Structure 1
Amino acid sequence: MKVWGVVGWKNSGKTGLMERLVSEFVRRGIRVSTVKHAHHAFDVDQPGRDSHRHRQAGASEVLLSSRQRWALMAELRGADEPDLDALLSKLSPVDLVLVEGFKSAAHPKIEAHRAETGTSLLAPEMPGVMAIASDCGAGFGDLPRFDLDDTGAIADFIVAELGL
């Protein structure tokens, strides 16, 4: 599986870019999965539901299945957070995995940047950033620059870089 990341500061446009890229790649016939890193506690389950009760009782993993989808939830229970490679190994094979976050992992990335955040670019300090997608033309060195909303050009760049 090919892996490409989208990184940036909070409110930099990462999620919107991810969403548009997934749609664009699917439109092109490329099978895509995503991985999203969260810096906060989150729960995809609802208190009182059977699966939540299983987790609360101490299950290490709970697999929930229906005719429309299945979901596997794993509780770390004090163990270290898995790295990106460990998480990728849990995915079914696809053509491309888009990763939001995981800034320090070694995969190639594009940085999303919006002027309104008032933040500096990550690229100067972050190996693996291969291009910048910005709403204000921000750039670093000779890295390719894209308009943050030019999804087609960004997708073309990723396809060329990964040989898809």
Structure 2
Amino acid sequence: MRMIGLVGRSGSGKTTLIAALLPALRARGLTVSTIKHAHHGFDLDRPGKDSFVHREAGAQEVMLVSDSRWALMHELGAAAPPPLEALVARLAPVDLVLIEGFHTHRHAAIEVHRPSEGHALMWREGSDIVAVASDGALPPLAVPVLDLNHTQAIADFVLAEAETYVPPRT
């Protein structure tokens, strides 16, 4: 599997870019999965549902299965979140994994940046950010600047720069 990240400040358009890249990459015959970092807790179920009762009663993992999808929820408790490599290893094999967030992890990433949002660039010399996708003018950078509105060009870049992920031996 190959993987590349999309990082950026809140509101920069990371999710919007991933939503545009997915059909563009799938149209090229690729299988693609995503991993998204959430800064806050989240729930896939809600009070009163059986899966919620299972978790509240102490299940370490709860798997929900229907005719069209399944999801696995794993309770961390006081444990630290697993490293990104462990999360990628849990995915079924695909051609490409797009990772949203995880900006502190060491993997190739494209920064999504909108100057109109008023935030500083995350890119710094020596960072793992290999390009910046922007919808506005930027000062000269030592990495390519991609037009955020040209999805096909970004897809080309993704395919050229995605890193091969080798799962750890067990």
- TM tier relative to shorter chain: over 0.9
How has the CA–CA distance of structure 1 residues 34 and 163 changed in structure 2, closer, same or farther, with 3 Å as cutoff? closer
How has the CA–CA distance of structure 1 residues 78 and 17 changed in structure 2, closer, same or farther, with 3 Å as cutoff? same
Is this contact kept in 1: 2:33–2:97, CA < 8 A?
yes
Aligned to 1:123: 123
Is this contact kept in 2: 1:123–1:140, CA < 8 A?
no
* Partner deviation per Cα, 1:32-59 (whole Å, 9 max, x = no partner): 0000001111111111111111000000
Aligned to 2:148: 148
What is the aligned residue count? 164
Is this contact kept in 2: 1:139–1:145, CA < 8 A?
no
Matches within 5 A, 1:24-39: 24-39=24-39
* Residues in 1 aligned to 2:61 and 2:162: alpha-carbon distance in whole angstroms: 34
Q: Displacement of 1:116 after TM fit?
A: 2.1
Q: Which amino acid aligns with 1:38?
A: A
Q: Which amino acid aligns with 1:59?
A: A
Could you say what secondary structure the match of 1:122 adopts? coil
TM, length-normalised to structure 2? 0.91
Could you say what secondary structure the match of 2:110 adopts? strand
Aligned to 1:52: 52
Is this contact kept in 1: 2:4–2:161, CA < 8 A?
no
How has the CA–CA distance of structure 1 residues 125 and 49 changed in structure 2, closer, same or farther, with 3 Å as cutoff? farther
Is this contact kept in 2: 1:35–1:97, CA < 8 A?
yes
Aligned to 1:96: 96
* Partner deviation per Cα, 1:6-45 (whole Å, 9 max, x = no partner): 0000101111011111111111111000000011111111
Is this contact kept in 2: 1:4–1:109, CA < 8 A?
yes
* Partner deviation per Cα, 1:50-92 (whole Å, 9 max, x = no partner): 1111000000000111110011000001111111111111110
Structure 2: any 5+ residue segments left out of the alignment? Answer: 165-170
Structure 1: any 5+ residue segments left out of the alignment? Answer: none
Is this contact kept in 1: 2:2–2:163, CA < 8 A?
no
Identical amino acids, percent of aligned pairs: 49
* Residues in 1 aligned to 2:51 and 2:36: alpha-carbon distance in whole angstroms: 22
Is this contact kept in 2: 1:124–1:140, CA < 8 A?
no
Q: CA RMSD in A?
A: 1.6
* Residues in 1 aligned to 2:125 and 2:48: alpha-carbon distance in whole angstroms: 45
Could you say what secondary structure the match of 2:112 adopts? strand
TM, length-normalised to structure 1? 0.94
Is this contact kept in 2: 1:137–1:145, CA < 8 A?
no
How has the CA–CA distance of structure 1 residues 57 and 139 changed in structure 2, closer, same or farther, with 3 Å as cutoff? farther
